[in-house]
Structure 1
Amino acid sequence: MRGNVIEPTVDQILEFCARDPVERVFLEDVARRKQGRFAGLAGDDDALRALCHLGTNVVPSGDGCAAFAKTVGRSGTRMLIGEEGAVGELWRAARRRLPRPRADRPGQPVFEIREPPPPGASALRVATPRDLDLLVPACAASHEEELGVDPLRRDANGFRWRTRVQIEEGRSWIWSENGTILFKAEASAWTPSAVQLQQVWVDPDARRRGFASRGLRDLVRLLLEQVPTVCLFVRAENAAAIALYESIGMRHTLDYRSVLF
């Protein structure tokens, strides 16, 4: 698609994200927090046709993402992730400029929910700094299950710092008893329109006893008091997680794709 690759303004990014606030929740969150670097594809009217977050994770969205191929080739990314069509277009254009992937995961379903599910009667609460030592290994295990990399081996100090920041920002929730995590989750993105959850996790010794459903239902109810939509995405082969999300009333609305390096 024809257009000019630009460094977009925050206002341009927010207008673009407002057209699809669930698919673009991460892009909007990063823009609002003024933490990311972006490239945009603008038409003659200056409105964005496509947008790409450039960093450790490259996140494209919209039509015409092939225009970002040269820029992405210089980004040092560890993963392309986002709406399946946008990632596919960018990957086809940039693959000669990027390392050989260690995994390619198309068809990752994105689930969303807008109506509160029944209460879970859990003891879910916002995590506090006192939970850090319990959460770090759990978050690391969840990360490794999802991405196949142990973050404590790659950068233990950095991962502990990121986990602490999530707690300090009120983006981490936990339900624990006697040092066992019965349910925990974090927000990977938070905008006025949606919260995107990540790392939904239960200690392996406590699984298959209904804790995940109870904790997730209470978390969704809590968040829907603040935003209209709660969403998340999951690996296509994770049948247990998909069954959990469907059981509380979440709907599969679109697909993501991840290309990991």
Structure 2
Amino acid sequence: MLTTRQGIRPLGPADLDAFLRLVALDPVVNVFADYRARTTSLEPRWLGGEMWGRYAEGELVAACHVGANLVPIGADEDDARAFGERALTRGRTVSTIVGPQDAVRSLWHTVAGVWGRPRDVRWNQPHMQLDGEPLVEADPHVRRTTRADLAEVYPACVAMYTEEVGVSPEHGGGAELYRARVLQLMSRGWSFARFDESGRLIFKAEVACASPHAAQIQGVYVVPDLRGRGLASAGMAAVAQIVRREIAPVVSLYVNDWNTPARRAYERVGFVESARFSTVMF
């Protein structure tokens, strides 16, 4: 039902074309929303939540993904406040608020007094992208992983997630669901790794989501004892080449501003900052 005061209503399959026009205004930043729309046709039962749209003079001007993540899309600060006010009517059901910095900040300030203290807040996360050839030589040993690699890939995914987020993805009985996600990425050809001569995984990265316009990388990880040796730069150069050749023309990611080694590695590869993201985690 349309909320007249805010011009917000849940979107559905009939709104798909309008939604794709909205995300196409910034297709690299909006790759997650674009991917979700194309894979679900905005059907709530496939989304596992809702996609809200905000209208002005009959035109879709902003949206917000409401599932495990609350993600503002094409939203200015006023749009984000409106989405936050709507979110307050249903209580907190999300584990993160993530997206462009100004919109996330406005949305969070709207709900903060009710939703309580977050587990972590990361206000400054450079969003970086690469739309050409890498500036460093790609590691020729990086390859797609398969189910046969699971014994090495899965522990590395858990280690990376725990190091990045501060809590294990297996916490609270989440191991089965997380393992299924790792296998899903493998089956799509979205999981990449390098293994040493003994078969030990020493570098990995995954594609989190992709559209015809862009692919977003997640889970970049180098084993601790081999960090500082250029594995991340060479590995990411290899991943970027494969992704640009076979999945999408632009490769993107976002990184914590305090993670200087990672930022330098991406810059060496040729990634440039194109936006700022923020993440609020519960």
Q: TM-score, normalised by structure 1?
A: 0.94
> Is the 8 Å Cα contact of residues 58 and 72 (structure 1) preserved in structure 2?
no
Counterpart selection for 2:229 from 209, 220, 225: 209
> Is the 8 Å Cα contact of residues 128 and 272 (structure 2) preserved in structure 1?
yes
Instruction: Please tell me whether residue 171 in structure 1 is matched to residue 190 in structure 2.
Output: yes
Instruction: Please tell me whether residue 200 in structure 1 is matched to residue 220 in structure 2.
Output: yes
Deviation sequence 1:96-143 (CA, Å, 0-9, x none): 231311211111001101111143242111111111121111111111
Counterpart selection for 1:4 from 7, 26, 29: 7
CA deviation after TM superposition for structure 1 residue 39, in Å:
0.6
Counterpart residue number, 1:225: 245
Output the CA distance in 1 between the equivalents of 2:65 and 2:139. Answer: 39
CA deviation after TM superposition for structure 1 residue 179, in Å:
3.2
> Is the 8 Å Cα contact of residues 92 and 115 (structure 2) preserved in structure 1?
no
Q: Note closer, same or farther for the CA distance 1:23–1:106 as it changes in structure 2 (3 Å cut).
A: same
Output the CA distance in 2 between the equivalents of 1:130 and 1:97. Answer: 46
Output the CA distance in 2 between the equivalents of 1:100 and 1:170. Answer: 38
CA deviation after TM superposition for structure 1 residue 172, in Å:
0.8
Counterpart residue number, 1:243: 264
Structure 1 vs Structure 2 CA RMSD: 1.5
Instruction: Please tell me whether residue 39 in structure 1 is matched to residue 45 in structure 2.
Output: no
Output the CA distance in 2 between the equivalents of 1:184 and 1:153. Answer: 22
Counterpart selection for 1:72 from 77, 87, 99: 87
Instruction: Please tell me whether residue 122 in structure 1 is matched to residue 140 in structure 2.
Output: yes
Correspondence list, 1:144-155, <5 A: 144-154=162-172, 155=174
Percent identity, please: 32
Corresponding residue SS for 1:135: helix
Q: Note closer, same or farther for the CA distance 1:121–1:147 as it changes in structure 2 (3 Å cut).
A: closer
Instruction: Please tell me whether residue 14 in structure 1 is matched to residue 31 in structure 2.
Output: no
> Is the 8 Å Cα contact of residues 138 and 238 (structure 2) preserved in structure 1?
yes
Deviation sequence 1:39-63 (CA, Å, 0-9, x none): 11111132x2211111111111212
Counterpart selection for 1:136 from 149, 154, 163: 154
Q: TM-score, normalised by structure 2?
A: 0.87
What runs of 5+ residues in structure 2 fail to find an aligned partner? Answer: 41-45
What runs of 5+ residues in structure 1 fail to find an aligned partner? Answer: none
- The amino acid across from 2:9 in the alignment is I
CA deviation after TM superposition for structure 1 residue 151, in Å:
0.8
